[in-house]
């Protein structure tokens, strides 16, 4: 028997309920207990479907929510891996992958390392509040566009993210603008004719450049890069 799981998460559900005027509403213990059992039931249901089908897939709906299913009926679904199923990748292994991907995409490995450190702190299972995934923090819509079917696979995430960044650098010819497009999207860059007036994006660029410069200094001091260059 086929079954589909839809998990719609609303940020408002995480806030304390309140009556008009901002006065907190007292939640009865029975209501809290009911919510708890509903959560346990939904969690067990999701595990059951995952065990039966072997894989869980997801995609972003038009209203901004994420829909999960064990039976993808069309293209555009991404494979989901629960956090507990991910292998532990040590930083040393991630750095080796960064060197490999940098050679494949023509990026400076020091720049790619700076992006990974700022984006995910070398955590292949990182997920941002906005839904960005993996080492290069790729958004679900971008993953679909790039053809990335497994956002939490360290090598695939690195390769597709680095290739996308390489394309942006080649397109805009200015690193700061390319980083802005990677962070805020190409639409915002085109609309503003360059780095958009978005504080988080501007801070992101500063962090990347600071890390990039620090890695360059380390390379000069040690006369050898972490990729052996």
- Would you please indicate which residues are annotated as catalytic (active-site) residues? 119
d(CA 211, CA 115): 8
Contact (CB, 8 A) for 161 and 179: no
d(CA 39, CA 200): 34
Nearest to 115 by CA among 208, 177, 201: 208
Structure tokens of 108?
């400076």
d(CA 97, CA 83): 21
Beta-carbon count within 10 A of 217 CB: 9
DSSP symbols for 26-83: PPPHHHHHHHHHHHHHHHHHHHHHHHHHS-EEEEE-TTS-EEEESS--STT-EEE--G
d(CA 107, CA 163): 8
């Amino acid at each position: 028997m086929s079954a589909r799981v839809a998990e719609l998460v609303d940020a408002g559900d995480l806030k304390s309920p309140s009556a008009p005027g901002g006065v907190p509403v007292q939640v009865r213990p029975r209501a809290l207990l009911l919510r708890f059992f509903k959560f346990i039931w939904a969690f067990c249901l999701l595990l059951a479907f995952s065990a039966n089908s072997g894989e869980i897939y997801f995609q972003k709906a038009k209203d901004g929510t994420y829909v999960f299913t064990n039976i993808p009926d069309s293209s555009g679904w991404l494979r989901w891996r629960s956090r507990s199923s991910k292998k532990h990748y040590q930083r040393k292994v991630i750095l080796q992958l960064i060197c490999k991907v940098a050679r494949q995409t023509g990026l400076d490995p020091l720049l790619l390392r700076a992006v990974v450190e700022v984006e995910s702190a070398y955590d292949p299972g990182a997920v941002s509040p906005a839904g960005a995934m993996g080492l290069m923090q790729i958004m679900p819509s971008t993953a679909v566009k790039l053809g990335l079917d497994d956002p939490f696979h360290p090598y695939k995430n690195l390769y597709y993210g680095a290739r996308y960044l390489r394309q942006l650098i080649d397109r805009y010819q200015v690193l700061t603008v390319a980083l802005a497009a990677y962070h805020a999207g190409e639409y915002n860059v085109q609309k503003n004719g360059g780095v958009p007036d978005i504080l988080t994006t501007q801070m992101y660029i500063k962090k990347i450049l600071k890390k990039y410069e620090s890695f360059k200094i380390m390379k000069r001091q040690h006369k050898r890069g972490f990729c052996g260059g």
